Amino acid sequence: MKFTLKYILLFAFSIVSTHHISAQNMPKNLPKYDHKQWHFGFTLGINTMNFSLRPVDQSKYDTSIVIIQPMLSQGFNVGIVANKRLAEYLDLRFVPTLSFGQRNMKYVLKTSPTEEKQYIKSVESTFLDFPFTIKYKSKRFDGKLNNMRAYVLGGARYSLDLASQKKKKGVSEEVVIKLNPHDFMFTTGVGFDFYLPYFKLGVELQMAYGIVNVLNEEQTIFTTNVDRLSSKMMWLTLTFE
């Protein structure tokens, strides 16, 4: 996909601006919405996936590998929402999500004293995510923005990579970067809720940082200089509740 962060943020800003204009002089929508104990809905979004890399000690470093550079790429995600009201401004959210995407690694290898060769290794992933987050909300804004509020998120998620190639056998000449299918991440995020006449629309930016090493212990030319590889992801999501 050809989305970039610039277009993602521009898309979110256009939604906020459009709602601000249309909400002027409008009555308060869904006034009793936040008094309900449970809310359900679904999400649609786009994501960027990347790695955080820690190299091996200098004494173990293979100097034939000139560059190892993680490269982010884009994907998309869909999910369902279960929201439990804990207090007036506090919710517990469980949003199982299916995230599609890939992560790329750029390598520059020294093939001779005077020559170098570049490789791009792609790792496709299909994540089944199970995130639990705490949502802390502001009051609804006053005046012309009374159908809007801001919030922050924090929590953790377990992710299962359904496309993991950990068990793939090396029967071809292509060297595959193999990752463990299980991942755990801490998440944080911000967002805005817009109370429309018949439902609530949320625009949410969320980031996640892996706490485990997902690299499978298999020594190849593409992993010999990597001590630890962890996930780093970002989602821009629309929620419909």
Instruction: CATH number of the domain at 30, please.
Output: 2.40.160.20
pLDDT number for residue 174: 65
pLDDT number for residue 183: 94
CB proximity list for 185: less than 8 A, separation 6 or greater: 156, 157, 159, 208, 209, 210, 211, 231, 233
Q: Which residue has the tokens 């929620």?
A: 239
Q: How many domains does the chain have?
A: 1
Gap between the Cα atoms of 41 and 30, Å rounded:
16
Range of the domain at 77: 5-240
Pairing outcome for strands 73-87 and 38-55: antiparallel
Gap between the Cα atoms of 140 and 119, Å rounded:
51
pLDDT number for residue 11: 54
pLDDT number for residue 145: 86
H/E segment holding residue 88: none
pLDDT, tens digit only, all 241 positions of the chain: 444 455 555 555 555 555 554 545 568 898 899 999 999 999 999 999 999 988 888 777 877 888 888 888 899 999 999 999 999 999 999 999 999 998 888 888 887 777 888 888 888 889 999 999 999 999 999 888 889 999 999 999 999 998 876 655 544 456 678 888 999 999 999 999 999 999 999 999 999 999 999 988 777 778 888 889 999 999 999 999 9
* Single-letter amino acid, residue 94: F
